[in-house]
């Protein structure tokens, strides 16, 4: 099964528990791109619209492309009051789109699902000259060694989902890959910025959040149930809450 469609299985839970993005991030996108009521933007992989409202409120017309049919129907209802919103239930990579048409193409925590070369080239093609590409991701980190709630989290992952990969927090040096990609595919005036925040969730909310991630939903049911039961037990033993340390990375660039 295409793991991208795992997000389509429970749109209500996804909308409730997936975080939005900092207000400052959207202010930076709008300031850089200069979008307004006369602009056209395209959002790739809208999900349930965690990154959509601020762009709509700028007055810019937003066309969202979403692979999941349930997610598409959800955002159609969610943004029904916005006359400047439209959603298309399709795969971005096969959807015919106008060349040199969009002032802004943006994607929140989803661009990595697309084939790299084809997706960058397609975005470049549909942007107007001077148009903006905005890519951003949220990197949640519940694995700090000085946080006892994070230690409990790590114990459960090591037991049920062990990995030889070093667990490290996202940092500035990790941005270089996307910067090189934007340069490689012809984009100019590249700007990169990091934002930081801490979320504190109850054990139940944390498990609900985990159920919005495709890899967690893809676990076999027996392992998944045991994982969640032990996660809840260990977090409840230390007060019932877990801290998640988020780093959000934003990449802005223009088509010449």
DSSP letter string over 17-58?
A: HS----HHHHHHHHHHHT--TT-EEEEE--TTTTTTHHHHHT
* pLDDT on residue 209: 93
Q: Split the chain (256 residues) into runs of 10 and give each run's mean pLDDT.
A: 48 77 98 97 96 97 96 96 98 97 97 96 98 98 98 97 94 97 98 98 96 89 97 98 98 98
Across the strands, what pairs with 139?
A: 247
pLDDT in tens, 135-170: 999 999 999 999 999 999 999 999 999 999 999 999
Contacts of 118 (CB under 8 A, 6+ apart): 93
* pLDDT on residue 215: 87
* pLDDT on residue 10: 59
Write down all domains in the chain, each with its CATH number in brackets. Answer: 3-140+165-198+246-254 (3.40.50.150)
Q: Is 93 exposed, middle or buried (0-12, 13-18, 19+ CB in 10 A)?
A: middle
Q: Taking Cα atoms as reference points, which of 172, 246, 174, 170 lies closest to residue 209?
A: 246
């Amino acid at each position: 099964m295409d793991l991208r469609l795992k997000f389509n299985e429970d749109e209500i839970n996804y909308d409730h528990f997936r975080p939005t993005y900092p207000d400052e991030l959207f202010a930076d996108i709008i300031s850089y791109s200069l979008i307004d009521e006369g602009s056209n933007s395209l959002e790739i992989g809208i999900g349930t619209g965690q990154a959509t409202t601020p762009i709509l409120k700028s007055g810019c017309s937003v066309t969202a492309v979403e692979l999941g049919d349930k997610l598409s129907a959800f955002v159609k209802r969610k943004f029904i009051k916005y006359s400047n919103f439209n959603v298309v239930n399709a795969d971005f990579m096969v959807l015919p789109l106008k060349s040199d048409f969009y002032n802004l193409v943006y994607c929140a925590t989803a661009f990595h699902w697309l084939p790299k070369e084809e997706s960058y080239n397609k975005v470049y093609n549909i942007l107007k000259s001077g148009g903006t590409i905005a890519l951003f991701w949220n990197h949640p980190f519940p694995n700090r060694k000085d946080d006892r709630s994070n230690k409990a989290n790590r114990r459960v992952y090591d037991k049920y989902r062990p990995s030889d990969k070093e667990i490290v927090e996202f940092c500035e040096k990790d941005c270089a890959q996307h910067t090189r990609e934007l340069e490689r595919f012809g984009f100019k005036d590249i700007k990169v910025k990091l934002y930081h925040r801490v979320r504190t969730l109850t054990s139940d909310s944390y498990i609900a959040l985990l159920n919005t991630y495709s890899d967690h939903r893809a676990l076999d049911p027996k392992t998944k149930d045991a994982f969640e039961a032990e996660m809840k037990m260990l977090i409840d033993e230390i007060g019932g809450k877990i801290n998640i340390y988020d780093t959000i990375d934003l990449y802005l660039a223009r088509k010449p």
